Amino acid sequence: MSERTVITFGTFDVLHVGHVRLLARARALGSRLVVGVSSDQLNLQKKGRLPVFPQEERLEILASLGAVDEVFLEESLELKRAYVLNSGAAVLAMGDDWLGKFDELSDVCDVVYFERTPSISTTAIIEQILGDAD
């Protein structure tokens, strides 16, 4: 059977079950999952804060997961199309917080949005830990 590559992007900081489920569902769409891990600088631009875990550690953590075949650093949102083409991906899979945002790439791959796992996010975990510390 020929290889079917799936690609996804994200910060994946303070890894949690929402991330793990998203990665498992993305991997199940094909035979190889490539993950573009947002750089520290890109996260600062997107979310207004640096990640808890620096990019080298987030890359290492993601690469160690069974669902993930390959990782690379995503340095710019404008390069999405180039990253997709470079990876040879047949599918781009994202959580539905990005619903519709990548439809313009549907000329080069299938674009799939998964429902987010409810009630969990890196931001909520950080806020909970900060709250507990008070």
Chain residues binding ligand CTP by CB under 6 A are 10-12, 18-19, 22, 47, 94-95, 97, 114, 116-117, 120-123
Work out the angle at residue 59's Cα, subtended by the Cα atoms of residues 89 and 35, and round it to the nearest 5 degrees: 15
Least Å distance between CB 120 and ligand CTP? 4
Find the shortest distance in angstroms from Cβ 1 to ligand CTP.
Answer: 26
Question: How far is it, in rounded angstroms, from Cα 106 to Cα 86?
Answer: 15
- H/E stretch holding 15 reads none
Nearest residue (CB) to ligand CTP, 10 versus 90: 10
What's the order of all strands across the beta sheet hosting 70-74?
Answer: 70-74, 32-38, 5-10, 91-95, 110-114
- By C-beta, is 43 or 90 nearer to ligand CTP? 43
1 vs 132 by CB, closer to ligand CTP: 132
Minimal distance, residue 94 CB to ligand CTP, in Å: 5
Strand partners of residue 35: 8, 71
Q: Identify which of residues 1 and 130 has a Cβ nearer to ligand CTP in the complex.
A: 130
